[in-house]
């Protein structure tokens, strides 16, 4: 029972398609940097393994050869389909290994992007099996593998089938981490014929078999992992219900004794309004009045009227249906016609939403502004200058924007779902508690009323500043989440020798 010793240091390997600073596309890449770092700060040996992409900066990151000519067999029953890969490693300035990279010219080196290829199923199957073949030969062995999202869902599958009798790999526990259940494989899981349906029971086919494209990697990860986690406690409860379960709710309900939720954190070193080089006027909770200067800069930059007493609402998001922006269709013009506020939109996404917000900009000049292409520094300016950030998501596994907003004193207006429910406390004017404004039902009436509530509260500067300060004092650092993950890793290891339920 040494794993349950308070001082036991664990070896942990995270496997994912992306990880900052080497390759980051979205939130997963950020988590794959911040969580392992927080675990290392706690004294554990946490490492990451991702593909070696051609776009990685080999001058900035010095990669060392770890293993050459790693042979990976694509079939489960025979020796057909042999792939040759190399494994590289990255050591930090202290000489400790932080990351491994699976190198294969055809499937990673020749690709300009991380995602979006017709043979992605092969690329992720190769990563999943390549990791395990590497660990068979590696001196360093993890106590637990964390397989992240559908792209690595075959790792639990391989471990509990092909490698279940391997003397080295059979001892390794595996945690399957769901960051977004709505992506499950190389197809839309809502429209699958009976012929194409993957129950998860058949053997994983060879990489060149078209059947591989039909496998539900997410289902297989959930079925075979020793434990499953999601990125917030509320999302873990939601996904066992049909409304949020993406057709996997019955399976998740069956495995609920092994399903856990831990809220993601944010990197407090990167997101610090007191030191952030991306904003003109730095501030903290003790001199929060300095934020007003950033608001003026933001208004001026986007040709909004420079008015301190007019609330400025911001959006920093993908403009998609999942993020809840359909609620604006029935509310935006009525709100703008009846209440004095400004709106700043930053994001890209579905054409209908981008066109809608562009129409608002044309109709309400000086009050609505937008920027619909990627920009690295604008999110920080909006966080530091906007009075509120709108996040009306249909569902939100975790969400980081609301935590970043609170860190910068931008009051979040959110729907009560997933990580938003776990991180934002609704404002109570009687008790003077709360860190934001929360609505529960996903309809335009609830959304409309909550925005009005926020706009009215803004007219009382003392109360508004109280919300800001409570939000800024909330602790969403990765240290707290990392401590919870350590306990989950210990639980996963204890479950490893129990029958899959």
Q: How far apart are CA 426 and CA 28, in angstroms?
A: 27
**pLDDT tens digits, residue range 452-461?**
999 999 999 9
**Domains contained in the chain, CATH given:** 2-265+479-496 (3.40.50.2000), 285-476 (3.40.50.2000)
82-91 and 97-103: which strand pairing? antiparallel
307: confidence class by pLDDT, cuts 50, 70, 90: very high
The string of DSSP letters for 298-343 reads HHHHTT----TTS-EEEEES-BSTTTTGGGGTTTHHHHHHHS--EE
CA distance 134 to 141: 10
Cβ atoms < 10 Å from Cβ of 430 = 5
- What the block records as the tokens of 102 is 């699976």
pLDDT tens string 81-106: 789 999 999 999 889 999 999 999 99
| Per-residue confidence band for 499, with pLDDT thresholds at 50, 70 and 90 | low
Q: What pLDDT is recorded for position 375?
A: 85
- What DSSP state is assigned to residue 109? I
Q: Report the alpha-carbon angle 79-81-85, nearest 5.
A: 105
pLDDT of residue 202: 95
pLDDT class for 6, splitting at 50, 70, 90?
A: low
């Amino acid at each position: 029972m040494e794993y349950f010793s308070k001082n036991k240091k664990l070896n942990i390997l995270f496997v994912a398609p992306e990880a900052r600073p080497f390759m980051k596309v979205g939130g997963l890449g950020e988590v794959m940097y911040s969580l392992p770092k927080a675990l290392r700060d706690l004294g554990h040996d946490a490492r990451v393994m991702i593909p070696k992409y051609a776009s990685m900066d080999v001058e900035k990151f010095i990669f060392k050869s770890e293993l050459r000519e790693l042979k990976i067999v694509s079939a489960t029953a025979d020796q057909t389909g042999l792939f040759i890969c190399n494994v590289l490693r990255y050591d930090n300035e202290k000489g400790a290994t932080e990351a491994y990279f699976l190198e294969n010219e055809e499937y990673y080196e020749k690709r300009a992007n991380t995602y979006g290829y017709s043979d992605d199923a092969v690329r992720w199957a190769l990563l999943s099996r390549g990791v395990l073949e590497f660990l068979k030969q590696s001196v360093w062995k993890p106590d637990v593998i964390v397989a992240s999202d559908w792209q690595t869902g075959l790792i639990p599958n391989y471990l509990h089938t092909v490698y279940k009798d391997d003397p080295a790999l059979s001892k390794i526990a595996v945690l399957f981490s769901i960051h977004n259940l709505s992506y499950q494989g190389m197809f839309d899981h809502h429209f699958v014929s009976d012929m194409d349906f993957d129950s998860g029971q058949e053997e994983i086919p060879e990489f060149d078999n078209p059947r591989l494209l039909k496998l539900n990697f997410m289902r297989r990860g959930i079925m075979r992992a020793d434990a499953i986690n999601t990125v917030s406690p509320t999302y873990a409860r939601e996904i066992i219900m049909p409304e949020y379960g993406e057709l996997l709710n019955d399976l998740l309900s069956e495995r609920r004794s092994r399903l856990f939720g831990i809220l993601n954190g944010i990197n407090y070193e990167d997101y610090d309004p007191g030191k952030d080089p991306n904003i003109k006027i730095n501030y903290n909770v003790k001199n929060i009045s300095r934020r007003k200067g950033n608001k003026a800069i933001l208004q001026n930059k986007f040709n909004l009227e420079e008015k301190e007493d007019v609330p400025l609402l911001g959006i920093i998001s993908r403009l998609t249906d999942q993020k809840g922006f359909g609620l604006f269709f029935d509310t935006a013009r009525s709100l703008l016609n009846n209440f004095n506020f400004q709106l700043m939109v930053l994001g890209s996404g579905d054409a209908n939403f981008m066109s809608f917000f562009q129409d608002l900009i044309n109709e309400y000049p000086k009050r609505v502004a937008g920027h619909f292409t990627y920009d690295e520094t604008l999110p920080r300016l909006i966080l530091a200058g906007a009075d509120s950030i709108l996040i009306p998501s249909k569902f939100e596994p975790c969400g980081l924007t609301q935590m970043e907003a609170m860190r910068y004193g931008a009051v979040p207006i959110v729907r009560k779902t997933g990580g938003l429910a776990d991180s934002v406390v609704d404002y109570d004017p009687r008790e003077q508690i709360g860190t934001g404004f929360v609505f529960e039902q996903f309809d335009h009436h609830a959304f409309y009323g909550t925005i009005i509530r926020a706009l009215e509260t803004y007219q009382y500067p003392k109360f508004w500043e109280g919300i800001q300060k409570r939000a800024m004092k909330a602790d969403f650092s990765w240290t707290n989440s990392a401590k919870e993950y350590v306990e989950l890793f210990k639980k996963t290891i204890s479950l490893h020798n129990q029958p899959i339920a």
